[in-house]
Amino acid sequence: MTVQRDFAQVESTWCDAWDVVYSNAFDHSYDPVLTINTWLGQLKPETGRLYAEMYHTADVPTVMDPCSMHAHEFTAFVAAHGGRVLAESVRLHRRTNAPIFLFEVERVPHA
């Protein structure tokens, strides 16, 4: 099933519903705070995982990639918005040799 929609907008039926949310489009986010809050909110409490893949090629935002962060910045950003990076892996792009990061993220339970 394919659903076309704005990935940053909350879909109420998806809240607390998913075991896994995967995206390689975080760098395309026009509102990173809204996006991370939406994605974390879609995870099942305590067991859901977000897998965010980031292909870092630029230090500054572009029209196509308005959200530009390095790996350590993404980890801190996630922590500041209710998530925790559990694991990070890196591989090299087969053509450009640029690093591609994959983050495994959980939603931090509310105290």
Q: Would you kindly state where each structural domain of the chain is located, as residue ranges?
A: 18-61+83-98
- Give yes or no for a contact between 30 and 66, defined as CB atoms under 8 angstroms apart: yes
Torsion of CA 19, 90, 82, 65, to 10 degrees: -100
pLDDT for position 67: 81
Q: What is the pTM of this model?
A: 0.87
pLDDT for position 6: 85
- Give yes or no for a contact between 28 and 66, defined as CB atoms under 8 angstroms apart: yes
Q: Which two tokens stand for residue 13?
A: 């039926």
pLDDT for position 13: 93
Mean pLDDT by 10 residues, the chain (111 residues): 82 94 90 95 95 78 76 93 96 90 92 53
pLDDT for position 82: 95
pLDDT for position 58: 61
